[in-house]
Structure formats: structure tokens, C-alpha cells
């Protein structure tokens, strides 16, 4: 089994940088993890975050089409209920309804990391939660609001000061798209610094999934900005 997984890793196409076309879809990557339960569980937990981002964009009217890899298209379009694992409760209830969903997601991803003994997934959750909450704090401070109601799964995140530099660069961005590029470049650098820490195949699949998600996101953004045709 481990040998099979090793060869599956070696068969994955090389990823380019952000802005390059994805060499395979997220659904294709998920299929390549089939037959390896731990690998598939880690990849699913990672890719689920991209499905939720697509759901958020669709419901906000920012995207007309969706291409989920873990959820169904109907779930992403809010036409069917989400899985039970995304129905966790946050206490106290967040003022922004979407925060409850992201809290449930990060709690689910953290549970996957614990159950599968995945240091990469655990560190990724800590980084994503910490970055998200550091941005929420910066937005709240700019608006003169209390930040606490807008934090997501704060108990899972890293210290706010760890994100001071990237939040400062994000705050100085000229427009929202430039700000998103700052954040995703920081995400890319974070996973690049760590993807060689793990020499066993399951973790490498998860690191590959994290990078492929970023490439796929920017490919979607590029397609949306150019419009049809």
C-alpha cells in the first residue's frame, strides 16, 4: 500500500506557480487519492475548503458556475443540505452567518488532523485560522468594531503577531484582488517552506492539494475576469 502511494505521488504532474494553469482538476487529484483511506481523508479535508470558498462566491453573486470536488454542485449552490460534519455549532453564535460554517469546517479539519495523526494538516489549520482571524481583527479595528464576534475557531489559530507582516501588506494593497494575491502568495510561501518536511506520501498528497487549490482558485479568477469567450 505504501509503495502504491509512493508511485502515485511520483505520477502527479509538476505544479507551476500561482497564475499558471492547473495541470489537473481538484476532482482529478481526489480520484488519484482513491484506494488509500488516509490519503483520501486528508485530501478531502483539504479540498473541502475550496468547495466552501466556491459556495461563498456563488451565494454572493461573485461566481456563476461552480466546480466542487468533495461537495455536490447542488450543495455548493445551497440547493441541498450540507453534510453533517459542517453542521457544528459555534458558541457564542457569530454575527456573520458564514462564520458558523467556517467554524464547523475548521473544527472538522482539526479533528481529521488529530485522527489521522497529520502534522501538516494540523499546522495548515492553525495557519489558515490564524490568518483569517488576523484579517478579521484588522478589519474590525479599521471600522472601530469589537473583533471578537467576527473570529472563527479562535482556539485553533496561531498568534496574531505571526501574521502582522502579511496583514500590513494586505492593508496597503490597492484593490481587493491585489489584496487576495498578497494573501495567497503568503499561503503559497507557507506551504512551500513546509512541504519538504514530510517525506511520507500521505502528507505529500495533502501539501500538493493545498498548492493545487491556490492554482485552481487563481485560474477561476482569471477566467471570471476575462468573461465568456
How does DSSP assign 153-202, residue by residue?
A: SGGGSPPGGGGHHHHHHHHT-SSHHHHHHHHHHHHHHHHHHHTTS--SHH
Q: What is the pLDDT of residue 130?
A: 96
pLDDT at 88: 43
pLDDT of res. 91: 46
Please enumerate, as own/partner, the contacts of 188-194 that have beta carbons within 8 Å and a separation of 24 or more. 188/17, 188/18, 188/214, 190/127, 191/124, 194/120, 194/123
pLDDT score at 222: 81
pTM assigned to the model: 0.90
pLDDT for position 7: 76
List the grid coordinates of 129: 485560522
Q: Which of 194, 133, 214 is nearest to 167 (CA)?
A: 133
Tens digits of pLDDT across the chain (229 residues): 455 666 778 889 999 998 899 999 999 999 998 888 999 999 999 999 999 999 999 998 988 999 999 999 999 999 999 998 887 444 444 556 688 899 999 999 999 999 999 999 999 999 999 999 999 999 999 999 999 988 999 999 988 788 999 999 999 999 999 999 999 999 999 999 887 666 667 888 999 999 999 999 999 888 766 554 4
State the pLDDT at residue 89: 42
For 47, counting Cβ atoms within 10 Å of its Cβ (0-12 exposed, 13-18 middle, 19+ buried), the class is buried
Amino acid at each position: 500500500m505504501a509503495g502504491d502511494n509512493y508511485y502515485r505521488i511520483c505520477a502527479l504532474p509538476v505544479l507551476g506557480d500561482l497564475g499558471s494553469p492547473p495541470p489537473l482538476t481538484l476532482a482529478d487529484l481526489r480520484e488519484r487519492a482513491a484506494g488509500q483511506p488516509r490519503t483520501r481523508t486528508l485530501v478531502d479535508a483539504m479540498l473541502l475548503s475550496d468547495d466552501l470558498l466556491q459556495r461563498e462566491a456563488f451565494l454572493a453573486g461573485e461566481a456563476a458556475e461552480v466546480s466542487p470536488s468533495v461537495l455536490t454542485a447542488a450543495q455548493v449552490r445551497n440547493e441541498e443540505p450540507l453534510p453533517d460534519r459542517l453542521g457544528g455549532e459555534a458558541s457564542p453564535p457569530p454575527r456573520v452567518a458564514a462564520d458558523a460554517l467556517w467554524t464547523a469546517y475548521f473544527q472538522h479539519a482539526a479533528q481529521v488532523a488529530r485522527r489521522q495523526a497529520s502534522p501538516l494538516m494540523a499546522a495548515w489549520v492553525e495557519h489558515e485560522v490564524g490568518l483569517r482571524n488576523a484579517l478579521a481583527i484588522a478589519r474590525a479595528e479599521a471600522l472601530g468594531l469589537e473583533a471578537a464576534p467576527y473570529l472563527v475557531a479562535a482556539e485553533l489559530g496561531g498568534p496574531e503577531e505571526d501574521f502582522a507582516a502579511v496583514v500590513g501588506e494586505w492593508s496597503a494593497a490597492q484593490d481587493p484582488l491585489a489584496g487576495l494575491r498578497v494573501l495567497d502568495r503568503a499561503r503559497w510561501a507557507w506551504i512551500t517552506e513546509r512541504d519538504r518536511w514530510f517525506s511520507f506520501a500521505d502528507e505529500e498528497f495533502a501539501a500538493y492539494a493545498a498548492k493545487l487549490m491556490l492554482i485552481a482558485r487563481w485560474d477561476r479568477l482569471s477566467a471570471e475576469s476575462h468573461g465568456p469567450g
